Structures are given as structure tokens and as C-alpha cells.
Structure 1
């Protein structure tokens, strides 16, 4: 079995490689060549932690495995390590033997950013120039860096519940040579693309704070009860997702479906747009919304790619198992 430690990931996995892996697996999912297993996510009654498993099988890429981990909210304060902790384990689909174990913390951040980035590539207007960010935590930096590579953006605007954290977004904008402006939520009507990346359980963005033609990537809702946008917004938008079953149960669409504002049949897979089976955006006036719930196959795709790179560069650790 091969081991790729967390410390090696930053030198192996690029945003470009993460994008390619996620785009390819979304296409495989929509084609019926890959599927996710049911998600297990539980409060364990210790350290206020949430722990779970995401897994799946990509028949096209012959990738089988799972990601185990979760959220330990006291880690930073008590141990000086990040609150999200995860590990990806890959298996040989021909024999069932454990094939690789890969540090999953940075990979999770990269694959989440890649997912919204893929949605921007395929759904945002080609002339999008202003990007709006809702949320300014650790993951928001990854989101913004990846998104800025998809269009010729000229400005970044941002809102966060705790304004002092907006410096995270300003730093990324400055790196890219772009101006940054802290705004109120009503100012999000100025954005051509909006990314929401929060841990909110209450709607933050209302339906009337989004202009016609906007693309929205909702990336924070991945658990029952979480919510980032007004459910009525989904009635104004063409809605796409990574996996429909997760979208309607733990994703942003859970609330609109629960209130009978939209139905499961109104939600399309982003992979179908990638494959050409769905037209995606049909006019510059369309509002498009990507409900990024985070699927196990994303983790397996980037982990498999990083294992190949680790072997190629001689940094994978081989152990008898």
C-alpha cells in the first residue's frame, strides 16, 4: 500500500489538476459511469465533533474508496491544527485490497474550490467581470483563487458576518492585481458571479439581492439544516448540482424542495452540461445556481491523481499491508 502524507500534498496537487479531476468525475457521474455511496455523518458526542464517511466507485476511472473525517471545532484552540480533518483511502477495484492512504485536508479544500470553479467555467456568462464572495473563512481563499482563473474578472466584492475576516479576501484579490471592496448584501446585485461559502443554518442571501444573469455557487450547505440562500432564489434560477440526491437532502435545495417551491426534477447535474447533454445557460439573462454539496467521488478523483504524482516524483511511501 502507498501512503501520501498530508505534508506532501501542497507540492503535488495544483488547482489545475484538481479542476481536471473534478470536471472529469462530474462528467462520469452524469454519464452513469460513476456513483456515490450514501453519506454517513454523525455527531459523536465527544469534543462536539462531526464525523463521517463519503465514498463511491468510478467505473470509468477505476477509482474505489472513501474519505473518512469531519469537523472538530476545538482543534485550533486546543491543539493548533485545523478544525477539518480527513483521510482518503483507495482500494484496488479488481481485488478489494487497500491501495493507498492519502492526507485529505488540503485535498478537500482544493476539490471544493475546484467544484465551484468548474461550475463557473460551464455556467457563468463569458463577460462576467465582478465576483462577489459571501464568507471569508479559510476555504474562501481557495474558492476565490480558483474562481479568478475562470473569467477575466476586474473586481472582487465581499461580505462576511465578521467583517474583520474580509482581509482574507482582500489579500487574494491583491495577489491577483484586482481591487477589493467590502460591501453590504444588497450590493451583491453588482456581482456577475457569487460564491457563498459559510457554515450558516439561516438564509443569508435573499432572492432580490441577485441580479439577472448572475451565476451563484452555493458551497457551504452540506448537512441537513444548513442554508445560505433564500429558497425563493431557486425558483428564479436554473439549478445544477454535483449529485441530485444529496442536493435535495443535505444541500441548498433541501429547503426549496421541502417547501414545494421546486421539485427534484427541476435540478440538473452539472456533469450533464459538461457532457453536452444539457444546454446549461441559455441566455445572458438566466440566473444559474450550482448547489455544491460535496461528493465522495470528488475526493477519490483528486486523491487518485495525487497518488500518481507522488509515485512519479518518488515521494509515495510504500508499506506492506
Structure 2
């Protein structure tokens, strides 16, 4: 079965509500894990990212695209970040995915990208936890309490038998919302300082838009797994560059990691080289051992690649087609 419909049938339009109903955490995890594996084996390739400040509304806008031969997904996600949207009752991240028929190049589907971006980003860190965190991890640390943090927390909680959540956010008034998510999962929640978070957490997820380190190397214990999920643009930074130098570093795509991901600062400072960074798909495929000891610090630099978006959008289009819950138009 093809992941997306043929152009002769019209273009499938899959809206945000349909995506939310069709693609859950399990579907997103499977799609993202598969596309990371395809990237590592050379069956899928991301194309260069375009991401620019547009000079209006403080917005960042860009394109992520690629082709997954294994999943037969070809397309582009267009969108970006509008920091003033929260005041308008909208999410700050806005995007749409265009899928094309790999055999003809014709447009096959337009898929809402806002929910899918959040769920695939959470799936990415969850994949890293599944493959890199210690099996006995008990405390989950969350740095950031914005829109995507709830997705991150729910996805992470399914990967290990966590017994507690500790969290810190630059704006502490946002933490009660995250505490409600933890409570819904039956997990005790504690608001802490960044230093206390590092002292307690076995797994740390950072999901902020910071431009300076929020976690320092000396605060992170041996054996911790850190998933850095917020840095996706030149200049952004969530953790101390020395932490990457002390860790075994994995990523979704090495080229993005060194140019616009969390590793950009460690590489620029000479603390890390491109050859020190391993695609997580190599761990999934079994060509890299991943974590090799309980004392090893592992770090996943989740830069967010276009193939993740195409993978989850293809799932949404396929399920929408099968269930008849999307509109069609002929262009």
C-alpha cells in the first residue's frame, strides 16, 4: 500500500484535528525510529535546510525536505516560529507538510504540521531514551515547560519505569501545567533548581528556545542520558559545551548537529569534532553499541530533520486515506 494517494485521485488534505486523531505516540515512535534507521543505512537523505528570520513579527521561517527510499516518502515541511502567536491563541510553531509521489513528482497530500511536529519531536527523544538511557533510570528531569514539554514528558514516560519527575523552567509560572501532566501519569513532580535537577535526574530532556547554557557539565551525574531537543538554529544553546565533550554524543543527523544543533558550540570551540558524533540510526541498526557502561554520559542532539516530518505525515495520509477522514481537491 502506498503511503500517500495518487495525484489522479486529487490531493489529499489532512487537517490538524485528523492528524491528532490518527497519529498517536506509538505511531510516531515507530515512524521516527524507522526513518532514523533508514538514514543510517543510506536509504534516506535530508536535503539542506533553509531557515531565516523574515524581518517581520520576529519570525523564523524555513523549509525542511528529503527523500526516504525505504518508506517512499518525498516532500517538504514549510513553516517556522512566530513568538507572538501565544498572545493570539495560536501555537508559536506553524507548519504544513507537502507530500509528493516519488514516481511522478506530483503533489499527493497536504498535511497539517503543527501537532505532528510536536509528536515527532517527542518521539525522537523517546527513541533516544529507548536506545541509550540506563535500564534502571528512575528520575526524569525536564528543562522547559512550554507547549512541547507535555508531549516530551508523555513520550518519555513510556520508555522507562520512571518514579519521579523533576523540572525547571526559566519562567516558573509555567511549571504547574507540566505538573498536571505528570500527575495524569501517576508520577510525583518536583520543581527544582537546575543544579538539583542534575543531581537527581537519570534522564534529562531539554526543550527550550535558549541561547545560553541552562545546564552545566558539573551538574550532570555519571550515567545520565541527556536529550537536547530545543536547539535547531544557529546561535541557540541549551547546555554547556563541556557537557558534550564529556559525553558520548548521538544525533539524528550529523551535518545538522554540527551546523545548527547543540553540537555547534562544542565543535566551534574545538571540544568536539564531527567524527565524535554518531547517528542514532547506527544504534538502532546494531552497527554501534550505544551505551557501553552504567557510568557513561550519553547525549542525543535532536536537531529535527525533515525526514521525521515526512515520516509522520505519510502515516497520517495513509491512515486518513484508509479511514476516509480527509478531503480531496483537484488542483
The normalised TM-score by structure 2 is: 0.96
Match of 1:156 among 141, 144, 165: 165
Q: CA deviation at 1:134?
A: 0.5
User: 1:252-301 CA distances to partner (integer Å, 9 max, x unpaired)?
Assistant: 00000000001000000000000000000001111000000000000000
Work out the CA distance in 2 between the residues paired with 1:74 and 1:255.
Answer: 28
1:3 is matched with 13
The within-5 A match list for 1:29-40 is: 29-40=39-50
RMSD in angstroms over aligned alpha carbons?
Answer: 0.7
Structure 1 residue ranges (4+ consecutive) displaced by more than 3 angstroms after TM superposition? none
2:176 is the alignment partner of 1:167: yes
Name whichever of 43-52 and 295-304 sits farther off: 43-52
Q: CA deviation at 1:169?
A: 1.7
Gap runs ≥5 in structure 2: 1-10
Match of 1:54 among 58, 64, 68: 64
2:78 is the alignment partner of 1:71: no
* Corresponding pairs, count: 320
2:5 is matched with none
Match of 2:214 among 197, 200, 204: 204
Work out the CA distance in 1 between the residues paired with 2:293 and 2:85.
Answer: 46
User: 1:164-223 CA distances to partner (integer Å, 9 max, x unpaired)?
Assistant: 111122111100111001111111221100000010000110001100000000000000
2:129 is the alignment partner of 1:133: no
Please give the secondary structure, in 1, of the residue aligned with 2:22. Answer: coil
1:221 is matched with 231
User: 1:19-50 CA distances to partner (integer Å, 9 max, x unpaired)?
Assistant: 00000000000000000000001111122211
1:264 is matched with 274
Match of 1:98 among 86, 104, 107: 107
Work out the CA distance in 2 between the residues paired with 1:96 and 1:213.
Answer: 47
Please give the secondary structure, in 2, of the residue aligned with 1:19. Answer: helix
The within-5 A match list for 1:183-202 is: 183-187=192-196, 188-202=198-212
Match of 1:108 among 110, 117, 128: 117
Please give the secondary structure, in 2, of the residue aligned with 1:248. Answer: helix
Match of 1:86 among 81, 86, 95: 95
Work out the CA distance in 2 between the residues paired with 1:74 and 1:179.
Answer: 33
Q: CA deviation at 1:317?
A: 1.2
Match of 2:325 among 306, 315, 318: 315
Q: CA deviation at 1:10?
A: 1.3
Work out the CA distance in 2 between the residues paired with 1:41 and 1:151.
Answer: 35
Gap runs ≥5 in structure 1: none
1:281 is matched with 291
Work out the CA distance in 1 between the residues paired with 2:187 and 2:85.
Answer: 34
2:23 is matched with 13
The normalised TM-score by structure 1 is: 0.99
Please give the secondary structure, in 2, of the residue aligned with 1:9. Answer: helix
